Amino acid sequence: PRAIEVVRKTMGATDPAKAEPGTIRADFGLTIGRNLVHGSDGPETAAFEIPLFFREDEILSYTRDLDRWILDE
């Protein structure tokens, strides 16, 4: 749930100088152009960007049995 929001918060602002301490980019990033991590800002952007980095056969879908104990679905 809220994966995009949670992961982007963990990564920090794109500009490491503006990222909150404790985020990946604040702690380890040096410049905007050489980020250590990338995360799409929404499902539409992800749909465009995923094929830039992964082949179709590298993308997997699965259901974890554990999720029924973790998620309120």
Catalytic residue among 38, 45, 46, 51: 38
38 belongs to the catalytic site: yes
Cα 29 to Cα 7, 9, 35, 37: the distances in Å are: 16, 15, 6, 9
Q: What is the DSSP letter of 20?
A: P
> Could you identify the residue written with the tokens 């920090």?
12
Which residue numbers are catalytic?
Answer: 38
